[in-house]
Amino acid sequence: MDLSNVPGRAVRKVRQDGAAELISEGRDLVVDDLLLYRTVYKHLLEKRVDILYRDDVRNRSECLEYEEYNEPMRLKGPTGFRGLDTPEQYEPGNRFVCEFPDAMLLGPVGPGLTAEGTVIADTVGTPPLTQRRTGVTIARSISENGARRTLDALRGDGEPDRRFDTVAFAVPPWNNYYHWTVECLLRVRLLERYGSETGIYPTLLVPADCSSWMKESLDIIDYTGEIASFDGGVAKANSLVVPTFPDPIPEECFWMRNRMRDGTVRDGGSDEERSNRIYIARGDATVRRVSNRDAVQRVLDEYNVNTYLLGELSVREQIDLFRRADVVVAPHGAGLTNILYGDDLTVIELFGDKTMATFDRLAASMDHEYRYVQCEQVGVDVRVDTDTLAERLQTTIRT
């Protein structure tokens, strides 16, 4: 988390969600992030934690490979952004599913551990994210389960609170639309391939406190196996089935588009007429709102771009909105995850002083046209150069 944003976010958090929610989030920041992750884990534990990295997992005898993938991929963060001269890349590698007998799961958000207490990298993140995500999840475990129980599990010891049979883990470190959709729901793809080959569909463990939109998305994706709640603590699994953590490669993106769109058609879809040029507002967010909203609105009106607040739409309505779209304009934010559901989109992303490759990469994987506007940072918000935005829209509509 960018600590410079904390004061501005705090004020908006109180206004939107109340003081109790702010106190809860503040505790997570101070205890989990500043104390346990940045201090305890980084200085005392990091070098003592064993990790089974993706290449090591792929080489295990219990590993089943399903697809070759030999292309490099840009990193999700600032160093992977296409606007750089040489964006940083990594090799995602072939897709696999691997079984781990007598595994442990640390609540509330992982990681998954081998019987010996080694962290299984693909339960927490992609190769570039493994180190940080391992630390974040272990810090969360120390906060919830205590240091002794967490360290015992990392040594392969300790008594679990609960036992499962054959399961797969789909609990995100943050309950954010992107992390849930791309990093959790997408695991269904390989789990169903594993199930169709072995006849075993692992029970999918999801957060016990699933939001309404998480439940709706689970209903749409319609996983063939059972779904159960994971309510934290320390759990034992007779068999933990681990698919490749979604990078996501193009095949994963197109599968997600088709599966979720088919799910909305199965449920009846929507006949409501929607615009094919859309702007995703962030009026309900605590950061990255547009400070010169009126000036931006005049540009949007000129090019017949309609504004939507995604928090007012169901998941089905969001899928339908992006399925019908031709042009999507939005400040950087999780709502852009929905470009997964579009065809031949032009995406115009608005950035402040920090660029991220998150949706740039999704657009590339989906063969969407991608453009961006570098905006002025104004506190926690952005001020859009309306001339540049108009130029991007004009060029888009002419081509």
| Model pLDDT for residues 146-194, shown as the tens digit of each residue | 999 999 999 999 999 999 999 999 999 999 999 999 999 999 999 999 9
Contacts of 279 by beta carbon, 8 Å cutoff, 6+ apart: 300, 305, 306, 307, 308, 329, 330
Q: Are residues 59 and 28 in the same domain?
A: no
Residue 33 pLDDT grade (very low, low, confident, very high; cuts 50, 70, 90): confident
What is the DSSP pairing of strand 234-243 with strand 227-230?
unpaired
Paired residues of 382 in beta bridges: 290, 377
Q: What single-letter amino acid sits at 381?
A: D
Residue-level pLDDT at 13: 42
Residue 6 pLDDT grade (very low, low, confident, very high; cuts 50, 70, 90): very low
Q: Are residues 19 and 112 in the same domain?
A: no
Residue-level pLDDT at 71: 98
pTM of the model: 0.91
Residue-level pLDDT at 271: 54
Measured CA angle at 130 (ends 128, 134), to 5 deg: 155
Q: Are residues 38 and 55 in the same domain?
A: no
Residue-level pLDDT at 25: 54
- Domain assignment of residue 339, yes or no: yes
- Domain assignment of residue 257, yes or no: no
Contacts of 18 by beta carbon, 8 Å cutoff, 6+ apart: none
- Domain assignment of residue 260, yes or no: no
Question: What is the arithmetic mean of pLDDT over 253-263?
Answer: 98
Q: Which two tokens stand for residue 258?
A: 């088709």
- Domain assignment of residue 180, yes or no: yes
Three-state SS for 48-65 is HCCEECHHHHHCCCCEEE
Measured CA angle at 8 (ends 3, 13), to 5 deg: 105
Decide: 267 and 316 in contact? Cβ < 8 Å.
Answer: yes
- Domain assignment of residue 263, yes or no: no
Q: Which two tokens stand for residue 355?
A: 């660029």
Q: Are residues 86 and 208 in the same domain?
A: yes
Top-confidence residue, 262 or 275: 262
Into how many domains does the chain fold? Answer: 3
Question: What is the arithmetic mean of pLDDT over 219-237?
Answer: 98
Cα 284 to Cα 339: distance, rounded to the nearest angstrom:
20
Cα 4 to Cα 254: distance, rounded to the nearest angstrom:
37
Spatial strand order of the sheet with 327-331 comes to 306-308, 277-280, 327-331, 346-351, 369-374
Cα 178 to Cα 76: distance, rounded to the nearest angstrom:
12
- Domain assignment of residue 156, yes or no: yes
Identify the domain boundary among 202, 227, 247.
247
Q: Are residues 43 and 56 in the same domain?
A: no
Cα 181 to Cα 179: distance, rounded to the nearest angstrom:
6
Chain centre to alpha carbon of residue 44: 28
Residue 366 pLDDT grade (very low, low, confident, very high; cuts 50, 70, 90): very high
Residue-level pLDDT at 202: 99
Residue-level pLDDT at 326: 97
Q: Are residues 345 and 301 in the same domain?
A: yes
Q: Are residues 353 and 392 in the same domain?
A: yes
Residue-level pLDDT at 9: 44
Q: Which two tokens stand for residue 308?
A: 């939507």
Q: Are residues 29 and 57 in the same domain?
A: no
Question: What is the arithmetic mean of pLDDT over 321-336?
Answer: 97
- Domain assignment of residue 258, yes or no: no
Paired residues of 98 in beta bridges: 63, 242
Q: Are residues 208 and 320 in the same domain?
A: no
Q: Are residues 89 and 216 in the same domain?
A: yes
Residue-level pLDDT at 288: 82
Residue 14 pLDDT grade (very low, low, confident, very high; cuts 50, 70, 90): very low
Q: Are residues 53 and 198 in the same domain?
A: yes
Helix (H, G, I), strand (E, B) or coil at 304: coil
Domain that holds residue 371: 277-398
Chain centre to alpha carbon of residue 115: 27
- Domain assignment of residue 265, yes or no: no
Residue 22 pLDDT grade (very low, low, confident, very high; cuts 50, 70, 90): very low
Cα 120 to Cα 125: distance, rounded to the nearest angstrom:
10
Residue 286 pLDDT grade (very low, low, confident, very high; cuts 50, 70, 90): confident
Residue 3 pLDDT grade (very low, low, confident, very high; cuts 50, 70, 90): low
Helix (H, G, I), strand (E, B) or coil at 346: strand
Residue-level pLDDT at 272: 58
Q: Are residues 350 and 370 in the same domain?
A: yes
Question: What is the arithmetic mean of pLDDT over 186-210?
Answer: 98
Cα 305 to Cα 103: distance, rounded to the nearest angstrom:
51
Identify the domain boundary among 199, 225, 247.
247
**HSE-up (13 A, CA, CB side) for residue 81:** 14
Paired residues of 242 in beta bridges: 98
Q: For the chain, give the mean pLDDT.
A: 92
Percentage of the chain exceeding pLDDT 70: 90
